[in-house]
């Protein structure tokens, strides 16, 4: 969430969230049916099927509420960077300690380091924003300062 209380998303990120919501709405119906069936077994105080279904329902409803909040309170990054400066949605190649890494800068809700998507709110994301190819940036890591060179922006 940014300082204006909005979730920063790319268009692709918003589409992913909406797809997940649709999937969860369908799952909600299945869980409601499972609860109804479990109730039909009689005493719910010792009914493990009922307990399991209610637990799944609670988790599901929490995730739905979270995603609906993001959809209601989002702002799309239009990826219109000034003169090749790094912004939300930029694909960035950096060189650090002789190794190259590629990242895509995204809003916090889309971050997934395993996929190379890092949040603009992370230390690396913050350091890279508004820089261009050839710039060197420093971040504070647990082991001290780390220097990176930006070698590509797409």
- Tell me the pLDDT tens digit for each residue of 101-135: 999 999 888 899 999 999 988 999 999 998 999 99
Q: Can you give the pTM of this predicted structure?
A: 0.73
Q: Which two tokens stand for residue 137?
A: 């940036």
Q: What values do phi and psi take at 96, rounded to 5? A: -140, 125
Residue with token string 């209380």: 5
Confidence (pLDDT) at 17:
94
Q: What would the mean pLDDT of 77-97 be, rounded to a whole number?
A: 81
CA dist list (Å): 148 to 50, 80, 82, 134: 53, 24, 21, 10
Comparing CA positions, the residue from 114, 132, 112 lying closest to residue 122 is: 112
Domains identified in the chain and CATH numbers: 7-76 (1.10.287.180), 91-153 (3.10.50.30)
Band (pLDDT 50/70/90 cuts) for residue 93 is: very high
C-alpha–C-alpha distance, residues 106 and 110, integer Å: 6
């Amino acid at each position: 969430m940014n300082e204006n209380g909005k979730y920063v998303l790319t268009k692709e990120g918003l589409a992913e969230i909406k797809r997940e919501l649709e999937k969860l709405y369908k799952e909600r119906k299945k869980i409601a049916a499972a609860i109804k069936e479990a109730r039909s077994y009689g005493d719910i105080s010792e009914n493990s099927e009922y307990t399991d279904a209610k637990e799944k329902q609670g988790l599901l409803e929490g995730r739905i509420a979270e995603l609906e909040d993001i959809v209601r309170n989002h702002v799309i990054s239009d990826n219109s960077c000034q003169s090749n400066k790094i912004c939300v949605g930029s694909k960035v190649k950096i060189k650090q300690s002789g190794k190259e890494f590629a990242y895509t800068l995204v809003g916090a809700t889309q971050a997934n380091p395993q996929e190379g998507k890092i949040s603009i709110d992370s230390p690396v994301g913050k350091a890279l924003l508004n820089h261009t190819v050839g710039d060197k940036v420093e971040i504070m890591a647990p082991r001290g300062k780390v220097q990176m060179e930006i070698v590509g922006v797409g």
